Structures are given as C-alpha cells and as structure tokens.
Chains A and B, each alone.
Chain A
Amino acid sequence: MDSTPSNLNWRPGADVDTLKSRARLLEQIRRFFADRSVLEVDTPILSQAGSTEAHLEHFTAMEPGVSGASDRAQHYFLNTSAELAMKRLLAADSGDIYQISKVFRAFERGTRHHPEFTMLEWYRLGFDLNALMDEVEQLLVTVAGSRLTHARVIKTYSQVFNDAVQLDPLSASVEQLQNCFKQHSSNDVLTLDDKQAWLDLIMSHVIEPGFNPDQLTFVTHYPAEQASLARLSKSNPEVAERFEVFAGGLELANGFHELCDVGQQRQRMQTENNLRQQQRKSELKLDERFLAALEQGLPDCSGVAIGFDRVCMWGLGKQKIDEVMSFTIETC
C-alpha cells in the first residue's frame, strides 16, 4: 500500500473560528438583501465567451470530445466576474439582483489576491452612483463596521491624486507621472509605455497605501480610459461614473453607473481586445449574447462588485487572504 507523505500540507489556511465568521458574514449579506427585496441569482461559472478586459487572464475548462476525440472537445471560460450574465438577467426584466459566486483570474496571486475568489455583485434599478455608494457603505458597516472609527470620505480620482502627489491625473503627461513616481517612491521601475499603467502604478504604490485604515474611502470619477463598463459623466466626458471603495489601502469594491449604450459598449470591448493584442494576450470573441441583451435594452441601473474574501480579511483583521480561505491554489 502506498503511504501518505507525512509532510503533505492538508490543513486549511483559515482556522475554524474564521470559517464560522465567514459563514456568519454570508448570512448577514443574504439577510441584508432579503430585507431590501433584492433577488439572489446564480449564473453559470462557465461561459462560452470570455471577458475582453485587457488586464484579465482566463482559466479555461475543457469538456472532452465523445470517445476521446480531442477535436470535438468543448472549451469554456471560467468567469472573471458574473457581470455580463447578470446584465442579461437585468435586460430580461429580473429587477434588482445580487449574486455571491466564485470567479477566476489567472496569475493573480499575492497576499491580497487569489486566482479563485468569492465575489459579491449586485445591481439596483434606478440607482445613481451616490445611491449605490450609500448602500455599499450600509452593507460594509453592517457586516464589518466595528473596524470603522471615522465616517466615510468620498473623493474624486483627481482629488486623491492632487492631495497625495499634487498632480492632475487627467492632464498629466507620461513624463510628469514618471517623475512623480520617482519622487514618491524609492522603488525602481522598468519602463511603462502607457499613461494608464503609470496612473495605476502611482495609485497602487503611492496613493492607496496612504488611505486611512479606520475609514472607508470612496474614490469616484475615474479617467474615461478606465471606464470599463461604466457610463461617462454627462457633465464631463473625460471621467467615468465609476467608484472604488478602499479600507485603508485594501481595495474592497468597484461600482459603475452602468453603460447601456450598445454601440459604445461594443467599441470599448474592441479597444480592450486591441490592447490585449498589443500585450500578446489572446484576442477574444466578443460576448454577442451580452451585446444582444444590451441591444434589447438594459434598464438604467448601477452595480457593484465586492471581493468577499477581502471583506473577511478587513472585518476579521487578517493580513493575508490565505487566512480567510479554506484551501488555496497551492493546497487545493
């Protein structure tokens, strides 16, 4: 009989108390939405179309061909988020919906990242950005509010740059951003070619770590280039109606006043696909079922996605995502 190697790590990363707290948080979240008559939905983890977002890499799953015929095997993408499927439900008159699902992002591994994680995502009809930010705050206070000693702060993307590095991110040149980073970090960086990457670098290395850990920081109105699936602001099309929520430097949530214009949406997906090509990532077919749903009409709504594992980390005061997960990619 084969013997089991005694040094094999079979134990969970989270202790039993943490697993119990995690379950309690899920319970509270479900009650939060039940109280507000938001419907829980459950869309597939597999998808025939992938997300075209330039900075995401997919896992794929394969269904073998009949009697091993590999040319008849079917390939599916594991979702990087439930967003597109949920918007198809919205276009089919689901009304307000939420989902707690597993999502998958290849190569994203660190103390705050895990390639498979749990995402809480919800959509509210008729909500604008402010209404949704209020609700996000209510939810976070409900499930993990004991860590907050200060009221939330809301600042625009331009404001947080201005406060921390005295620079306007919308008008700054690549050279200015490069010099700004040199000034504020001892860290040596290989050359980055595009402006958005410099903004991401300064945001993640210089600005976010300075946010107050006892307070929720809402950052709104991201540059239009970073709009993703958010609509552009009517009063200033240089920025998007998008927000992110941070607890200290820990990014918890990303929300949009959702883009309903199918023409713009298709164009953005093509732009992202071009970026993918430049980065020598695989170009992806656009999700035509999603675009068809948008064509039919997405109701005016705002939506937000929250990293549930991060909320657990924050609520329980854990430093590593491994500490709130049963098993990790290394031990699964």
Chain B
Amino acid sequence: MASYSTNEFRGGLKLMIDGDPCSIIENEFVKPGKGQAFNRVKLRNLKTGRVLEKTYKSGESVEAADVMDTDMQYLYNDGDAWHFMHPDTFEQVGADKSAVGDTAQWLKEQDMCVVTLWNDVPIAITPPNHVTLTITETDPGLRGDTASGGTKPATCETGAVVKVPLFLEEGDVIKIDTRTGEYQGRAKD
C-alpha cells in the first residue's frame, strides 16, 4: 500500500484517515530546538467535507488515499444516480446522493464538472464556478424596474432557488456563481 512520510506532506496531498480519504489543507512543522519534531496538519475529509486537525510525529508514514480529480461531463440523472462521462475515453461513472449532495442543484446536462474519484468511485462533485440556468418559476416580473434593488426568489431548471432582481421573468436565462449561490446577471444569448 502506498504511503507518505510526514516529510512529504504538503497542501493537496490525499491521505487515508480513520478509513476516510482526506486532503491536506495546511501542514505546519513544529519542533522544539532540542526535542521531538511534529507535523501539525489540517485536513478536509473528502466524503463529509468536515475539517479535522491531526498531529504526527515527524518521520511517521501515513497511508495514501487513491484519490483523483477528473474533469467529466454531466450527462443525466436516472433517479438514483447522476451520470458523468470522461470526454476523451467516453468512460462513464454514476455518482450517488452522498457524493453529489447539494451540488445537484447546479448540475446542468453537458456542463463540465470535477469528479473526485476514490478508488475509481465518485465521492464528491465540484460544479463549474459559473452556471447558466433558465428560470422555470418566479413571480411575474415588474417590467422596467431595474433600479429599485429589490429581489425575489426564482426557481431554475435544475431546482436551484436563487434571489434575482424583480424585473426577471420565467424563461429568462441567468448566470449564477455556484460558490456563493448568487445571481451574477442575465446570460447573453
């Protein structure tokens, strides 16, 4: 089994911690001049997203996690799984609810996403930073009201609910930042 020594620790390295794949966020070397050296590590559990802290005796080895980030195209949802395809090999994988989580609301067919694979199984999906979605449901627009600054909720084709300006209508196409969930503007056709 592959493993890493603490001397190889750096941001982004993937390790197995208590049975879960984790990614190093921060690695700090702590050593009293005459004493034992430690690596104090902040990690993100890639399955739960939770952040944990660990301290290792420097020089110890930790099992590596076989984790890979792959760019893949979102194809469709069959009710159980969200299916993604590798654009070069046409290989397909299905991601279940626990891997997709809240990201489902940003998944639009044919968009490119980052699929995090652990032992070739998807454990997390990262949507594009910006998505373009059609509004399917919202209160009637207040034509001409582009200045009052008020907002209303709008439901998009993927199910995402976003706060949008009052003048927008059903059928309008808008751009959203998936990292904040905020409306960015109308999409230009």
Q: Mark A102-121, 1 if CB is under 8 A from B, else 0.
A: 00000111111100000000
Binds A, one of B50-58, B72-80, B161-169: B50-58
Q: Are B28 and A110 in contact (CB under 8 A)?
A: yes
A220: interface (CB < 8 Å): no
Chain A contact residue count (CB 8 A cutoff): 31
B143: interface (CB < 8 Å): no
Known interface pairs A55-B34, A55-B35, A254-B34; A188-B55 also in contact (CB < 8 Å): yes
B54's partner among A188, A226, A244 (CB-CB below 8 A) is: A188
The distance in angstroms between the C-alpha atoms of A110 and B30, with both chains bound, is 7
Q: Are B53 and A108 in contact (CB under 8 A)?
A: no
A305 CB contacts on chain B under 8 angstroms? 33
B38 CB contacts on chain A under 8 angstroms? 200-201, 204-205
Known interface pairs A186-B53, A187-B53, A190-B60; A196-B36 also in contact (CB < 8 Å): yes
Q: How many A-B residue pairs have CB under 8 A?
A: 78
Q: Are A200 and B54 in contact (CB under 8 A)?
A: no
The distance in angstroms between the C-alpha atoms of A190 and B53, with both chains bound, is 12
A228: interface (CB < 8 Å): yes
B7 CB contacts on chain A under 8 angstroms? 107
Known interface pairs A110-B28, A187-B40; A254-B33 also in contact (CB < 8 Å): yes
B34 CB contacts on chain A under 8 angstroms? 53, 55, 226, 228, 254
Chain B nearest Cβ from A107, distance in angstroms: 5
B97: interface (CB < 8 Å): no
B142 CB contacts on chain A under 8 angstroms? none
B37's partner among A55, A205, A254 (CB-CB below 8 A) is: A55
B149: interface (CB < 8 Å): no
Chain B nearest Cβ from A319, distance in angstroms: 12
Q: Are A204 and B31 in contact (CB under 8 A)?
A: yes
Q: Are B31 and A108 in contact (CB under 8 A)?
A: yes
Known interface pairs A109-B29, A113-B29; A190-B56 also in contact (CB < 8 Å): yes
Q: Are B57 and A197 in contact (CB under 8 A)?
A: yes
Q: Which residue of B lies closest to A181 (CB)?
A: B55
B residues 18-70 with Cβ under 8 Å of A? Answer: 28-38, 40, 52-60
B33's partner among A187, A199, A251 (CB-CB below 8 A) is: A251
Q: Which residue of A lies closest to B39 (CB)?
A: A110
Known interface pairs A108-B29, A110-B30, A187-B40; A204-B35 also in contact (CB < 8 Å): yes
- Which residues in B have some Cβ–Cβ distance to A below 8 Å? 7, 28-38, 40, 52-60
Q: List 19 A-B contacts (CB under 8 A).
A: A53-B34, A108-B29, A110-B28, A110-B30, A186-B53, A188-B54, A192-B57, A196-B35, A197-B35, A197-B36, A199-B35, A201-B38, A203-B32, A204-B30, A204-B31, A226-B34, A244-B32, A254-B33, A305-B33
- Which residues in A have some Cβ–Cβ distance to B below 8 Å? 53, 55, 107-113, 186-190, 192, 196-197, 199-201, 203-205, 226, 228, 244, 251, 254, 279, 305, 307
